[in-house]
Amino acid sequence: MDSALVSSSVYLPDTVQTAVKILIVGHFAVGKTTFVGTLSEIPPLRTEETMTQAGALVDDLAGVDGKDTTTVAMDFGRLTLSEQLVLYLFGAPGQKRFQQLWRDMAYGALGALVLADTRRLEQSFPVMDMLEERALPYAVAVNHFDGAPVYGEAQLREALDLLEDTPLVTCDARDPTSATQALITLVEYLHARTAQEHA
């Protein structure tokens, strides 16, 4: 294999000055693993395991037909946004039984992107509550699922009880352009907050 190709895809360029840890969070089966895998420029680390009958007793599978694996630790990927800035993406499992792992993963994160599903918006509240408990800023990206209801921004903001300045976008976790734009929205929000704090 061409060593230059390996270097460009695995190692960071010398120009990178800032590395930022970002959480990709959301409830069970909202598309976090897909999102990280779509954007990562390196082969993503995945800790998916096949779901068992025992897991069906604790994980709500309503509205997620065909789901046969689940993340049991985390997803990890990397995305270089510019010659100076690289993002490390940490996808956290969405089930309540992994909350302690989720809290540990939040340490050192600059912010979070909350993925939401219009079929199960109410399941986003525990995730947003945990972020707010840690004063971790976040943006919300409503992930597109085929056949899911479509709502306007005002309806979504009201349903999710979002603050006026919390960014809200729609995305398709399977599409690199769409997923990148969602992440850029979060990064711009975090940059604006930092600039305001130091003004």
Q: Which pLDDT score, from 0 to 100, does residue 187 have?
A: 93
Spatial separation of the C-alpha atoms in residues 12 and 6, rounded to whole Å: 11
What is the spatial distance between Cα 27 and Cα 117, in angstroms, rounded to a whole number? Answer: 9
Predicted local distance difference test score (pLDDT) of residue 65: 56
- Name all domains of the chain by residue range, CATH numbers in brackets: 18-49+71-198 (3.40.50.300)
Collapsing DSSP states into helix, strand and coil, what is residue 140? strand
pTM listed for this prediction: 0.81
Residue range 96-126, pLDDT digits in tens: 666 777 778 888 999 999 999 999 999 999 9
Residue pLDDT, tens place only, 36-52: 999 999 988 765 545 44
What is the rounded distance in angstroms from the CA atom of residue 58 to the CA atom of residue 68?
Answer: 14
Q: How far is CA 63 from CA 30, 88, 117, 144, 148, in A?
A: 11, 30, 10, 14, 10
Strands 18-26 and 111-116: parallel
Extract the tokens encoding 65.
Answer: 């037909």
Residue 35, exposed/middle/buried by CB under 10 A (0-12, 13-18, 19+)? buried
